[in-house]
A and B are shown apart, each in its own frame.
Chain A
Amino acid sequence: MSVLKEMFENLAKKPATTLYPKEKVPIPPAFRGRIAIRDEKCIGCSKCAVVCPTQCITMVASEREVEVKGRKITRKKKPEVELFMCIRCGLCEEYCPTDPKAIYLSNEFSGAGPDKSVVVK
């Protein structure tokens, strides 16, 4: 019987599950995790806020000197993301014109928490 054979094979094996959170699961480099912002890179162009499908990005006033192609400019606004409205689609990252991206999906995957109004600044 193939089922019995399979059972005995499995008996000799390690458990298939991971003892989270004691053991960490491997995260692939391409993983789309929690949204993050590099404030010093953002030029305040609002492209991310326009493309975001859930409209969870708000542009807030924040004046700061930033460098664009070797030129210094003063940006007026920066994005803030309402974390639990973000669906991690990555469109903001795709449309952000800076390099490295001022808004991006990090590899951080454990996003659960008791506070639902977390804002990523």
Chain B
Amino acid sequence: MTEVVVPIGPQHPALKEPVNFKVVADGETIVRLELDVSYNHRGIEKAAEQRDFVRVVPLLERVCGICSHSHTTVFVKGIEEAMKLQVPPRAQFIRTIVAELERMHSHFLWLGVAAHEVGFNTLFMWTWRDREAVQDMLEEMTGNRVNYGTNEVGGVRRDLSPDEIQAALKRLPRLEERIAKYAEMVSKEQTMLLRFKGVGKLSKEQILKLGAVGPTARASGVDYDIRRDDPYLAYADVPWKVITDTHGDVYGRTLVRIGELQQSLQIVRFCLEHIPAGPIRTNPPRAAPRTEILSRYEAPRGELVHFIRTNNTDRVERLDIRTPTLANWTSVAVSLVNQNLADIPVVVAAIDPCLSCTSRITVVNERGRRIGEMTWDELSEHGRAFYRARGRR
């Protein structure tokens, strides 16, 4: 086998998780994928050790632009566990509402991106328009569209007024209707069926072996969700169910995400309607006792883990962050083998990573030993043209 190692170009330090990959291809068929994920080091874990528990939260909120609430929740949850704090139920409900709205905006965004990668830009525009309603709800409740600034150790920083709860409840029926429309569309619309079905297939055994998480795993029949299996926040008190599917391909991942949209909406509605009265925070002690905590959280992309070591001071001694995208990358590499070059965009998009970071791909043509580079846009365009040409034949 020809092995050509090519160092790949530009850094994109503005975005999280820059992932680089080299594709070894035989004509149109992918032989192998090489991943390099340790590309951009932002030093957030080290920076977190320098800040006390109040000032570290805004920093962790910025680990990820989309899952900002996930990172702060998993962290404060860990610190609260270390301090043995009882967080008031009202705070837990508010955290749950924001967490599920975050999941909704993330899944809407994903559906749009996946549609865009297969050239179905109309759907992209629709989902992103509907996502605005979720963003507006978050803005009304927390004061910002991203980086909600909701969490602090011991509770939440901002209460929900009855007016805000009513306004949020009023927005839900329209969203529900839209989600139902997308559910129908995905199972009927030819564009998506043709490009999603059978693409990037992974069996349950493969998923378990590769350690994939979140919707990627659940689409292959792995019935696993931290919200149910290791309940936190208010999930134990809310009626909802884990969505799984057996297709195992991009189509399955789409069905799971749309099912989760429906579930998230129900969770948000239940929490808004049943939010308990009472305080929204307890006063935490200044320092956390010496201990080690592994805090887990079901982020929109899958299981997010923070390992926290505290040492009787007001800051962490060590913080280790394992994001779901990292757990899912190897599954991409495996599921792309023997697929078409044209399927890369949609298979990569199916785990919902940060695409901007992977904006450049090196294609190594095995037979001709030609090495060329394609930008993400070129690759997307190649995918569309390939299937357009094939459709005509």
Q: Which residues of A approach B to under 8 Å, CB–CB?
A: 1-3, 6-7, 10, 16, 28, 30-32, 51-54, 87-91, 94, 105
Contact (Cβ within 8 A) A90 B55: no
Residues of B within 8 A of A10 (CB): 126
Q: Which residues of B are found within 8 Å of A52, using beta-carbon distances?
A: 55
Give Cα distance in the complex from A93 to B265, angstroms.
32
- The answer to whether the Cβ of B228 comes within 8 Å of any Cβ in the partner chain is no
Cβ–Cβ contact B149 & A51, under 8 A? no
The answer to whether A90 and B188 have CB atoms under 8 Å apart is no
B181:A30 contact, CB within 8 angstroms: no
Known: A16-B129, A30-B158. A2 touches B181 (CB 8 A): yes
User: Is there an interface contact between A31 and B181, defined as CB atoms closer than 8 Å?
Assistant: no
B259 at the interface (CB under 8 A from A): no
Q: Tell me the interface secondary structure of chain A in the complex.
A: loop
For the complex, what is the distance from the CA of A53 to the CA of B56, rounded to whole Å?
7
With A1-B188, A31-B143, A88-B149 known, 9 other A-B pairs at CB within 8 A are: A6-B185, A10-B126, A16-B129, A28-B139, A30-B143, A51-B54, A51-B55, A53-B59, A90-B143
Chosen A-B contacts, 27 in total, with CB atoms closer than 8 Å, are A1-B188, A1-B189, A2-B184, A2-B185, A3-B185, A3-B189, A6-B126, A6-B181, A6-B185, A7-B122, A10-B126, A28-B139, A30-B143, A31-B139, A31-B143, A31-B144, A32-B149, A53-B51, A53-B56, A53-B59, A54-B58, A87-B147, A88-B144, A89-B58, A91-B58, A94-B157, A105-B143
The closest CB in chain A to the CB of B144 belongs to A32
Number of interface residues of B (CB under 8 A): 29
In the complex, A105→B129 CA distance in Å?
Answer: 28
Partner of B142, one of A3, A7, A30, A94: A30
Q: Which residues of chain B (129-158) have a CB below 8 Å from chain A?
A: 129, 132, 136, 139-144, 147, 149, 157-158
CA distance A16 to B127 in the complex (A): 12
By the criterion CB–CB under 8 Å, are A87 and B185 in contact?
A: no
Residue in B closest to A88 when the chains form the complex, CB atoms? B144
List residues of B (88-138) whose CB comes within 8 Å of A's CBs.
122-123, 126, 129, 132, 136
CA distance A28 to B144 in the complex (A): 9
Give the complex CA separation of A54 and B189 in angstroms: 48
Chain B residues with CB under 8 Å of chain A are 51, 54-56, 58-59, 62, 122-123, 126, 129, 132, 136, 139-144, 147, 149, 157-158, 164, 181, 184-185, 188-189
* One of B126, B140, B188 near A28 (C-beta < 8 A): B140
Name the residue of chain B whose CB is nearest to the CB of A5.
Answer: B181
Asked if residues B140 and A87 are in contact (CB atoms below 8 Å), the reply is no
* Bound Cα distance A28, B142 (Å): 10
| A60 to B253 alpha-carbon distance, docked (Å) | 56
Q: How far is the CA of A7 from the CA of B185 in the complex (A)?
A: 13
Residues on B with C-beta less than 8 A from A6 are 126, 181, 185
Smallest beta-carbon distance A35→chain B, Å: 13
A-B residue pairs, 10 tightest by C-beta: A32-B143, A53-B55, A28-B140, A89-B58, A30-B143, A53-B58, A16-B129, A2-B185, A31-B143, A89-B149
> Once bound together, how far apart are the Cα atoms of A25 and B272, in whole Å?
26
Contacts of A31 in B (CB 8 A): 139, 143-144
Q: Given A28-B139, A30-B141, decide whether A90 and B149 contact each other with a Cβ distance below 8 A.
A: yes
